[in-house]
Structure 1
Amino acid sequence: MTAELTIRDLQVRGASVPMPRPLVTGGGTIRTAPLALVDLLTEEGVTGHTYLFCYTPPALGPVVALLHSLAPVLQGQPLAPHELERSLRARFRLLGSTGIVGMAIAGIDMAAWDALARSRSLPLVRLLGGQPGRIPAYNSCGLGMIGPERAGEEARELVAAGFPAVKIRLGYPELATDLAVVRAVREAVGEGVRLMCDYNQSLSVPEAECRVAALAGEGLTWIEEPTLADDLRGYARIRAAAATPIQAGENWWGAREMQAALDAGYCDLGMPDVMKIGGITGWLRAAAVADTAGLPLSSHIFPEVSAHLLAASPTRHWLEYVDWANPILREPLAIEDGHALVPDRPGSGIEWDEAALAPYLCGAPDCVDGSVKG
């Protein structure tokens, strides 16, 4: 029998990691990945690891500070992820558990599950009742809004590693440019490669209806987040008229928001974000909702953890592959023939490469946001 673990401490560091390909969307350009690195230590010597992607450098400091403030709350608590999640949500009930509060809770949850799996010498997927295997992955490391002249060349680079699918960011000022970009990518990669496109919430509902209709003949696998994520009626309206599947869900803050969206006829496909959906505990709830609804379930970023979660999800679909944390990991997630290989080592497989990480820690000379102290 495995002994119960007790939390000793929570250690958090901020890091600003340069992205190999800057991500250009309708909301701006992301050149560095602002990551909150979370280590959950136990009295028994087992440590769980995870990271949070904070999107923009100004958010990194508050996320790290909030996690630091929660360390005394966790010390001495049993390592029981469901109970920890419940108690943390109760603590923030009056404030609410979305935004940076939700991110912090999810970070603790992911690190707790990682520690629990390590304590039992199991990969996370086996602890969740699944088994390691191969998950179809699409390359989402580029094809920001770079125009049709560059999009074809970059698409060829992204599929060169054997990926069977890539994602294109759209939302140019003119519909004609959206179409030109999609066609340039298709010409570059051929008919055998699947194309997903993402509007990153950049369109009004009427404009989304117009552009979704214009893209109907382009053979897209899905059109993602065409309008604001909280517009349930708008999504239902867009979906009702669309000939291409509508993908959404990365901005669901928990399984209740997911269920409300599905009840409204929001989308054909779902892609929760493990950080926003509530960590691994939240993902398990979301996977149950998806299973009941028959909703194909893909992941949003965090490929190291998401590969395990998809492998344990009944309606798994596609893994979104990004390499943003690779520079600071000892052993990044392996991709083979367009599939993510779910690792068969204890936990999620996340281990920090401390030597590689050092220049990017906030407070180090190369860190973009020096206000955060690890």
Structure 2
Amino acid sequence: MTAPATSTTPERHLAHADDLVVTRVEAVPFAIPYTKPLRFASGEVRTAEHVLVRVHTAAGVVGQAEAPPRPFTYGETQSSIVAVVDQLFGPALVGTSVLDREVHRTRLHRTIGNPTAKAALDMAAWDAVGQFLGQPVHRLLGGYAESVPVSHMLGFDEPQVMVEEAARMRDLHGISTFKVKVGRHPYRLDVAVVRALREAFGEEIELYVDGNRGWTASESARAMAEMADLGLTLAEELNPADDVLGRRWLVERCPVPFVADESAHPAGGGHPGDPRRLGDRGLDQDRAHRVLRVAAGAAPGRGAGRRGGRRQPDRRPDRHAGLRHLRRRARLHLGPRGRAVQLPRHERRPAGRAAHHHQRPDGRPHRPRAGPARRRRQAGPLPAGRVSVRPRPSSPISEGARR
């Protein structure tokens, strides 16, 4: 399929604002088989099953963009992208102008997720605007670069095979930048590959690594330390995205710039700092709920025990070691941008006490009902001749006492 021939003369298309109106949006699925399977830490791809998104305007100009599904990261597939564009996003854009950037964003973000489909529609609208003005989109965005290098991805394989593939791409296409897929176990398999590439080509090529979240933070740190002498440009997604504290620890120690890539996305719209959206920012839902309970003043662990009528913190080890510091900060509150800030002393409440137990509806402080131990202490010493425990006649204790 080919787009209808259009003119890029600005005078022709900008004569009427109605020419910028979106009349139709289509999603065209296509498949391109790879010459060899691309294997990486989060899966394997044998065919590029992508979607071509087209935004048609009243003047006949058609903006186009490609939507590559990322099922291992976003949960989108080729079929889901086609469905959401045809049934939800396309009808939402029809009748608007390709210049209505905020209108598009607002309408698309009514639906949570689907970041690849949303990005393709945004790029297609930019492409249409560039055609109207007769300018490339990077000029419209204000970007500048004398040149942009093209990189080639090297999937999992033996070191010699990957060296031969890099040499072939350099000789055929002049490519001198390579993204090396890492994330295998043991990690030294990938360290050996990167070292073989550097030894084979020297400083003639640029190398960077992409882990696809295959290593832990500690494995990533050890691997990067062993590759510190190989002149890597950057490292991308080495450890899992939901290990927020582990990734922070890793970034502080990484000898090269760290790129989050797909794992850095506020999916579903809304303010990125909204604490209710911690799950979208890298925490899984269970851990996000626990972080919010700590921020609200609830007990910070899996539970708490009672001893002497008082609530004691849970001393059992947490399987999420990165949350230990939250135990020591149970009186912190998440600020408007998700940052932890110290509450004033008069606004704090003891950890473990629910919000509705802290204050009566009329504003007076609520005092919890005293338990048996507290009632005995308040009553004072017992009169002579009385016992503090009176077992029931039918209980095993009373039966033993009779005998």
With normalisation by structure 1, the TM-score equals 0.61
Kept in 2, the 8 Å contact 1:6–1:77? The answer is yes
Offset at 1:168? 0.9
Structure 1 counterpart of 2:130, one-letter code: A
Deviations 1:153-185 (A, max 9, x none): 112123223333211111222233122211211
Aligned mates of 2:138, 2:201 — CA distance in 1: 33
Offset at 1:72? 2.6
> Are residue 123 (structure 1) and residue 139 (structure 2) matched?
no
> Are residue 51 (structure 1) and residue 63 (structure 2) matched?
no
Partner of 2:306: none
Partner of 1:108: 121
Offset at 1:89? 3.9
Partner of 2:360: none
Partner of 1:354: none
Kept in 2, the 8 Å contact 1:40–1:111? The answer is yes
Structure 2 counterpart of 1:14, one-letter code: P
User: Which of 18, 42, 50 lines up with 1:27 in the alignment?
Assistant: 42
Identity among equivalent pairs (%) = 31
Residue range with higher mean Cα deviation, 41-50 or 77-86: 77-86
User: Which of 159, 184, 188 lines up with 1:176 in the alignment?
Assistant: 188
- Aligned-partner SS, 1:203: coil
Partner of 2:56: 41
Offset at 1:253? 1.9
Partner of 2:97: 78
> What is the number of equivalent residue pairs in this alignment?
252
Aligned mates of 2:39, 2:224 — CA distance in 1: 21
Partner of 2:331: none
Partner of 2:26: 11
- Aligned-partner SS, 1:208: helix
Aligned mates of 2:77, 2:65 — CA distance in 1: 17
User: Which of 154, 179, 184 lines up with 1:143 in the alignment?
Assistant: 154
With normalisation by structure 2, the TM-score equals 0.57
> Which is bigger in relative contact order (C-alpha 8 A, separation at least 6)?
1
Offset at 1:90? 4.9
Alignment RMSD, CA only?
Answer: 2.6
Correspondence list, 1:96-245, <5 A: 96=112, 98=113, 100=114, 102-130=115-143, 134-140=146-152, 142-160=153-171, 161-245=173-257
Structure 2 counterpart of 1:226, one-letter code: L
Distance 1:175 1:127, change over 3 A: closer
Distance 1:220 1:126, change over 3 A: closer
- Aligned-partner SS, 1:179: helix
Offset at 1:40? 0.7
Distance 1:12 1:121, change over 3 A: same
Offset at 1:67? 0.2
Aligned mates of 1:136, 1:86 — CA distance in 2: 28
Kept in 1, the 8 Å contact 2:50–2:66? The answer is yes
In structure 2, the gaps of 5 or more residues are: 1-10, 274-403
Kept in 2, the 8 Å contact 1:139–1:158? The answer is no
Aligned mates of 1:248, 1:61 — CA distance in 2: 26
Distance 1:135 1:228, change over 3 A: farther
Offset at 1:197? 1.1
Structure 2 counterpart of 1:180, one-letter code: A
Distance 1:258 1:199, change over 3 A: farther
Offset at 1:112? 1.0
- Aligned-partner SS, 2:120: helix
Deviations 1:302-358 (A, max 9, x none): xxxxxxxxxxxxxxxxxxxxxxxxxxxxxxxxxxxxxxxxxxxxxxxxxxxxxxxxx
Offset at 1:63? 0.9
Offset at 1:91? 2.6
Aligned mates of 1:234, 1:80 — CA distance in 2: 41
Kept in 2, the 8 Å contact 1:155–1:189? The answer is no
Offset at 1:58? 7.5
Kept in 1, the 8 Å contact 2:151–2:177? The answer is yes
Kept in 2, the 8 Å contact 1:88–1:105? The answer is no
Offset at 1:219? 2.2
State which structure, 1 or 2, has the greater radius of gyration over its C-alpha atoms.
2
